[in-house]
């Protein structure tokens, strides 16, 4: 093993009511890819925020030794100067700015008092080449897909001479190709002397890329495994993460009570006036009672837009076509109508349009169905607490109290709150958009189990997912979407990864 | 010793919540000291509350407007204009008070809905839409008073709203406490009892759910502090002419809005929109509809403010309502409303209004030059928001 570039010793970090890190030690050798894994709320993001100075020296106890020196970072700029760059779970680019402006944001290249744009563009081109991103530096970030934005973030880090690159769940929003691309880039960087810490819930990719893996559980270091000694396997990782063995990733299901169609969509077209183009073309599909239907496809294939267009059309697309719910033709003018008709939609972007981060767990859970726990417009706070506690227990939401602000929950636990909120609506048709993004294995299993139970009780589920194994493991039927069109329908028996990928790239 | 330590700790942890009360207390104590008791005299406190009235009701409405991430600049001149309309209706049209007041309130709602139409339907930023309203109502008030200038209102019932006091059940000099307004005392006492019972029940409920509550000694300290503050003010008022009608109106408005925001589905939906409009919309909340509700309520409260002000001056002037909007906005921000939306309490804004008007009143009594007064009030506004932002960040 190489000498350590980073050693974090006995780090303890407390928030009111939560000990997020309890005496954690973390050691990263030079020029390796070191993965950090653990359940939702285990403390991974917190540990990295301590390292990068988001939580400044003094707000935690313990020592950070980086590059041989004890460090006392007072803020991110200190850790950046020392050569640490962190890319967060949520991207931090300015969408309205160009790629080159973003890359050099905060450390502009100057010529006297003025920014030297020519030099900036030239150097931006160079780092973009390093991350193998083939775009003109003058394109705006908002016009790039997530995968490319991710690369711009890395380019930004590389532009300032980084020694240790930290990525917090970089692939959770990427499709297979973009993920592969990113991983091979990390390998390349490793050969050029950039050490890398990667946080991920995708164990396959951890196994594929890690030189070593540290497992955290409940704010404590459980172990560090060395891949070159063959210590890293899916089985071992799960066991250390969860603290017990998990055999099945997908719960067993009896697929028998599939009934009549509850939702039928015919010749459905949508035109987005904001973009000035048609985004859904001649969509036809149906969902039957008690069925889980997977919608597979690449990111950006139009599945979220489809869901929104069915769910009261909040973005104001121009729609055309027929939607039949439980045998009746329906026309939802607002999500409110859809909810009343028994449709629920768990959004893909929990922070952007799913949750109210400044409100607490219970308020978020009850928001979409407040009338259920109120009489004559007055909320019954007892009932609210009961409901929230119930969902906290069934979904195993890790929070010190249901009065905790959602912003203070870990990413995966926020996702659970978002799911709980829509379960409380008790819909007949549940649309889940990337339901397990950023969720740990144990919690995934919990969510799958809940889905299974719900369909057994007669609910119908539309599951939009870019995770092929999940689509294959959970669905009764699969529709494949590509560029706003349904390019295929596969009964689960005939569906394979290859077939889906082929249809998805049609 | 541990009691004091405990108190310090609780105070530090909840400084955001109690900060305003303490600031108000300190400001009042300071002026009482500097004016040798004049500030805390019954007469002055009574006046102070009446002056706060027409700003406080605006601040209450503005709180909701800011919570849904909007702003309404038109409220000042709208209040002035509707005050003039009330005067005209009383004086020139000869309508009785009980017709004029509902009429003016209804007009206020219509004006609010108009702003809401521009904001919700046409998608115009509220700053711009209400700036247009500012200009329009400013013109309108001059237009309707053009022929007459200041309109004197002779109606006694109307003028009582801004100048009168609630009647006493006993003649003032009779009974055990001569010269003291007994009904005021009784109402105040009732208020304190209701407050204490409520607090105790709330605490029990929280304990039943194992939520965090204040330790017993701190809880009692809080009850004593608030009861003493309210009791003190009531005592001072009872020593003069008792509760004024303005104070009664403001209290009712504050209680109703406090209830709506904290206990009802409507309130929840308003705060949800402020917290994350996209998420609220997708949760089945109509952002448009609630924009109408919030601006409609703002319009109604502007009308109320106009009525309170006209009645207090017993006349409608051509400049009525000037800068009210900024006082109301300042009061809301001093009271802890967040410019980012989704955060802010009705009670906070009331305290904010009291803080700002105590400053004015106190400095007037001390004979401080008006230009200096503006400097001080500006500094206090900035300090309050800095304090708010700083404590919010620390809470994260
Ligand atoms: N600002 C905060 N205030 C209070 N508690 C917090 C705060 N940030 C994190 N926590 C708590 O600290 C614990 C660790 O959170 P952290 O975000 O580090 O988890 P994580 O391992 O990154 O999880 P995930 O995989 O879900 O992203 C959680 O219990 C979380 O609720
Ligand atoms: Mg995390």
Q: Please compute the mean of the pLDDT values over residues A79-105 and round it to a whole number.
A: 85
pLDDT at B214: 79
CA angle (B16, B18, B22) in 5-degree steps: 120
Residue A216 alpha carbon, nearest atom of ligand 1: 21
**Please, are residues A156 and A99 in contact by the beta-carbon 8 Å criterion?**
no
pLDDT at B393: 64
Pairing relation of β-strands A33-38 and A114-115?
unpaired
Lowest-pLDDT range, A112-116, A452-456, A464-468, B235-239?
A: A112-116
pLDDT at B168 over 90: no
CB contact under 8 A, B282 and A335: yes
Pocket of ligand 1 (CB under 6 A): A 15, 18, 20, 38, 40-46, 398-399, 408-413; B 396
Q: How would DSSP label each residue in B227-269?
A: HHHHHHHHHHHHTTT--BHHHHHHHHHHHHHHHHHHHBHHHHH
Cβ contact, residue pair A379, B263, below 8 Å: yes
Specify the higher pLDDT residue, A481 or B11.
A481
Instruction: Dump strand ranges (E) for A112-250.
Output: 114-115, 164-168, 195-199, 212-217, 220-226
Contact A197, A164 (CB under 8 A): yes
Residue B371, classified by CB atoms within 10 Å of its CB into exposed (0-12), middle (13-18) or buried (19+), is exposed
Give the pLDDT score at A437.
84
B395 pLDDT tier (thresholds 50, 70, 90) = very low
Strands A110-111, A84-87: pairing kind: unpaired
Q: In the predicted model, is pLDDT for residue B1 greater than 80?
A: no
Angle between helices B126-144 and B97-116 (to 10 degrees): 140
Mean pLDDT of B299-328: 94
Q: What is the pLDDT of residues A215-257, one digit of tens each?
A: 999 899 999 999 888 888 888 888 888 877 766 778 877 766 6
Q: In what order do the strands lie in the sheet with A328-329?
A: A277-288, A261-272, A318-325, A328-329
The per-residue pLDDT for B215 is 82
Which candidate in A354, A370, A402 is best for mutational testing of the B interface (most B CBs within 10 A)?
Answer: A370
pLDDT at residue A89, as a whole number:
67
> What percent of chain B stands above pLDDT 70?
96
How close, in Å, is residue A155 to chain B by CA atoms?
30
Distance CA A155, CA A137 (A): 11
pLDDT, position B394: 55
A390-429 per-position pLDDT tens digit? 999 988 898 988 999 999 998 889 999 999 999 999 999 9
Indicate the domain borders of chain B: 36-164+247-395, 169-243
* Ligand 1 centroid to residue A401 C-alpha, Å: 13
Its ipTM equals 0.86
Q: Give CA–CA dist A420/A395, Å, rounded.
A: 7
Q: Which residue minimizes the CA distance to atom 12 of ligand 1?
A: A20
Query: Contact A109/A123 with Cβ under 8 angstroms?
Result: yes
Distances in Å between the alpha carbon of A155 and those of A129, A144, A173, B144?
9, 14, 18, 65
Gap between the Cα atoms of B271 and B268, Å rounded? 5
| pLDDT computed for residue B297 by the predictor | 97
The pLDDT score that the predictor gives to residue B396 is 41
Distance between A158 CA and the closest CA of chain B, angstroms: 30
Does B36-164+247-395 carry CATH code 1.10.3470? yes
Which residue's CA is the nearest one to ligand 1's atom 16? A43
Q: Which helix (H) or strand (E) holds B145?
A: none
C-alpha span between A226 and A212 (Å, rounded): 4
The model's pTM is 0.87
> Are B140 and B114 within 8 A, CB to CB?
no
pLDDT (mean) for A157-182: 85
What span, in angstroms and rounded, lies between the C-alpha atoms of B207 and B211? 6
Closest CA in chain A for residue B395: A16
d(CA A449, CA A401): 24
The encoded tokens of residue A351 equal 């922070």
Q: Best substitution site from A46, A218, A397, A419 to test ligand 1's pocket, by max atoms within 8 Å of Cβ?
A: A46
Buried b (16+ CB within 10 A) or exposed e, A24-39: bebbbbebbbbbbbbb
Q: In chain B, how long is the greatest CA-to-CA distance?
A: 70
DSSP-derived letter for residue B167 is: P
Beta bridge partners of A270: A280, A319
Model pLDDT, residue A135: 85
d(CA A501, CA B57): 62
Tell whether the model's pLDDT for residue B27 goes beyond 60.
Answer: yes
pLDDT of residue A342: 93
Are A51 and A166 spatial neighbours (Cβ–Cβ below 8 Å)?
yes
Average pLDDT over residues B57-81: 96
B340 → chain A, closest CA residue:
A358
pLDDT of the residue at A170: 86
Q: Where are the beta strands (DSSP E) in A121-274?
A: 164-168, 195-199, 212-217, 220-226, 261-272
Task: Give helix then strand counts, H and E, for chain B.
Answer: 16, 2
Residue B201 pLDDT exceeds 70? yes
DSSP A291: -
Asked if pLDDT for residue B187 goes beyond 50, the answer is yes
State residue B32's pLDDT score.
92
Cβ atoms within 10 Å, residue A77: 12
Q: What is the dihedral of CA B57, B60, B65, B66, to 10 degrees?
A: 130
In this prediction, residue A193 carries a pLDDT of 87
Inform me whether the C-beta atom of residue A355 falls under 8 Å from chain B C-beta atoms.
Answer: yes
Q: Which atom of ligand 1 is nearest to the CA of A440?
A: 25
CA A474 to chain centre: 19
CA A486 to chain centroid? 24
Contact B126, B70 (CB under 8 A): yes
Residues 404 through 443 of chain A touching chain B, CB cutoff 8 Å: 407-408, 421
CA distance B370 to chain A (A): 40
Q: Which atom of ligand 1 is nearest to the CA of A43?
A: 18
B278 close contact with A: CB closer than 8 A: yes
What's the rounded Cα separation, in Å, for the pair B237 and B48? 11
* Tokens 């993965």 found at: A35
Q: Is A336 on the interface with B (CB under 8 A)?
A: yes
pLDDT mean across residues, chain B: 90
What does pLDDT average to over chain A?
89
Query: Does residue A193 come out as left (phi exceeding 0), alpha (psi in the -120 to 50 range) or beta?
Result: left
């Amino acid at each position: 093993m190489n000498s350590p570039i980073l050693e974090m010793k006995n780090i303890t970090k407390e928030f009111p009511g939560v000990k997020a890190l309890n005496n954690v030690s973390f050691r990263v050798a030079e020029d390796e890819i070191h993965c950090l894994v653990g359940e939702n709320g285990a403390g991974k993001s917190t540990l990295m925020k301590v390292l990068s100075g988001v939580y400044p020296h003094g707000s935690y106890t313990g020592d950070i030794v980086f590059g041989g020196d004890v460090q006392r970072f007072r803020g991110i700029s200190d850790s950046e100067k020392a050569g640490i760059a962190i890319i967060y779970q949520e991207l931090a680019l300015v969408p309205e700015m160009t790629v080159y402006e973003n890359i050099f944001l905060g450390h502009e290249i100057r010529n006297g008092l003025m920014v030297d744009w020519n030099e900036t563009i030239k150097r931006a081109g160079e780092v973009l080449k390093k991350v193998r991103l083939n775009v003109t530096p003058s394109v705006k970030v908002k016009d790039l897909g997530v995968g490319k934005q991710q690369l711009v973030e890395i380019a930004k880090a590389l532009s300032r001479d980084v020694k240790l690159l930290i990525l917090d769940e970089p692939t959770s929003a990427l499709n297979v190709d973009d993920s592969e691309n990113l991983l091979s880039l990390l390998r390349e960087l490793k050969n050029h002397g950039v050490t890398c810490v990667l946080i991920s819930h995708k164990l396959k990719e951890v196994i594929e890329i890690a030189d070593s893996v540290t497992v955290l559980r409940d704010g404590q270091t459980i172990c560090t495994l060395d891949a070159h000694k063959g210590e890293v396997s899916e089985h071992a990782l799960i066991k250390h993460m969860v603290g017990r063995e998990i055999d099945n990733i997908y719960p067993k299901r009896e697929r028998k009570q599939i009934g009549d169609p509850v939702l039928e969509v015919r010749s459905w077209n949508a035109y987005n006036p904001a973009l000035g183009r048609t985004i859904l073309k001649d969509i036809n599909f149906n969902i039957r009672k008690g069925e889980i239907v997977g919608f597979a496809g690449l990111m950006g294939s139009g599945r979220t837009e489809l869901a929104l267009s069915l769910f009261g059309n909040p973005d104001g697309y121009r729609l055309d076509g027929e939607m039949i719910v439980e045998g009746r033709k329906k026309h939802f003018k607002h999500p409110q109508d859809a909810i009343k008709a028994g449709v629920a939609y768990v959004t893909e972007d929990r922070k952007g349009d799913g949750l109210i981060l400044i409100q607490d767990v219970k308020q978020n859970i009850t928001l979409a169905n407040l009338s259920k726990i109120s009489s004559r417009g007055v909320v019954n706070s007892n009932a609210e607490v009961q409901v929230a506690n119930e969902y906290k227990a069934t979904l195993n939401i890790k929070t010190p109290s249901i009065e905790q602000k959602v912003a203070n929950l870990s990413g995966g636990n926020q996702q659970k709150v978002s799911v709980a909120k829509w379960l409380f609506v008790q819909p007949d048709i549940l649309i889940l958009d990337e339901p397990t993004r950023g969720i740990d294995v144990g919690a995934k299993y919990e969510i799958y189990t809940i889905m299974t139970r719900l369909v057994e009780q007669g609910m119908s589920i539309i599951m939009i997912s870019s995770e092929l194994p999940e689509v294959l493991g959970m669905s009764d039927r699969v529709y494949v979407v590509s560029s706003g069109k349904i390019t295929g329908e596969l009964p689960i028996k005939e569906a394979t990864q290859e077939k889906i990928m082929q249809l998805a790239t049609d | 010793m541990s009691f004091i330590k405990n108190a310090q700790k609780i105070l530090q942890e909840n400084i955001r919540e109690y900060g305003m009360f303490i600031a108000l207390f300190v400001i009042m104590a300071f002026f009482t000291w500097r004016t040798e008791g004049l500030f805390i005299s019954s007469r002055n406190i009574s006046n102070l509350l009446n002056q706060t009235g027409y700003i406080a009701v605006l601040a209450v409405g503005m709180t909701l407007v800011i919570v849904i991430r909007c702003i309404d600049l038109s409220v000042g001149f709208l209040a002035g204009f509707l005050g003039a309309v009330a005067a005209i209706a009383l004086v020139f049209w000869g309508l009785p008070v009980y017709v004029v007041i509902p009429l003016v309130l209804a007009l206020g709602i219509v004006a609010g809905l108009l702003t809401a139409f521009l904001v919700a339907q046409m998608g115009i930023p509220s700053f711009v839409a209400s700036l247009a309203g500012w200009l329009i109502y400013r013109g309108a008030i001059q237009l309707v008073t053009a022929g007459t200038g200041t309109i004197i209102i002779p109606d006694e019932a109307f003028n009582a709203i801004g100048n009168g006091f609630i009647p006493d059940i006993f003649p003032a000099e009779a009974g055990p406490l001569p010269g003291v307004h007994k009904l005021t005392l009784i109402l105040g006492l009732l208020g304190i009892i209701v407050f204490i019972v409520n607090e105790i029940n709330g605490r029990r409920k929280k304990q039943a759910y194992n939520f965090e509550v204040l330790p017993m000694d701190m809880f009692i300290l809080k009850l004593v502090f608030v009861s003493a503050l309210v009791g003190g003010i009531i005592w001072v008022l009872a020593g003069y002419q008792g509760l004024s009608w303005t104070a009664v109106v403001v209290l009712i408005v504050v209680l109703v809005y406090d209830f709506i925001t904290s206990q009802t589905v409507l309130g929840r939906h308003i705060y949800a929109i402020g917290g994350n409009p996209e998420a609220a919309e997708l949760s089945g909340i109509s952002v448009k509809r609630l924009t109408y509700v919030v601006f409609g309520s703002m319009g109604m409260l502007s009308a109320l403010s106009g009525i309170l002000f006209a009645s207090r001056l017993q006349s409608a002037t051509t400049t009525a309502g000037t800068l009210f909007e900024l006082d109301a906005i300042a009061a809301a921000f001093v009271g802890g409303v967040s410019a980012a939306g989704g955060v802010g309490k009705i009670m906070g804004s009331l305290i904010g209004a009291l803080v700002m008007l105590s400053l004015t009143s106190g400095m007037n009594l001390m004979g401080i030059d008006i230009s200096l007064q503006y400097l001080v009030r500006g500094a206090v506004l900035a300090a309050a928001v800095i304090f708010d932002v700083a404590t919010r960040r620390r809470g994260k």
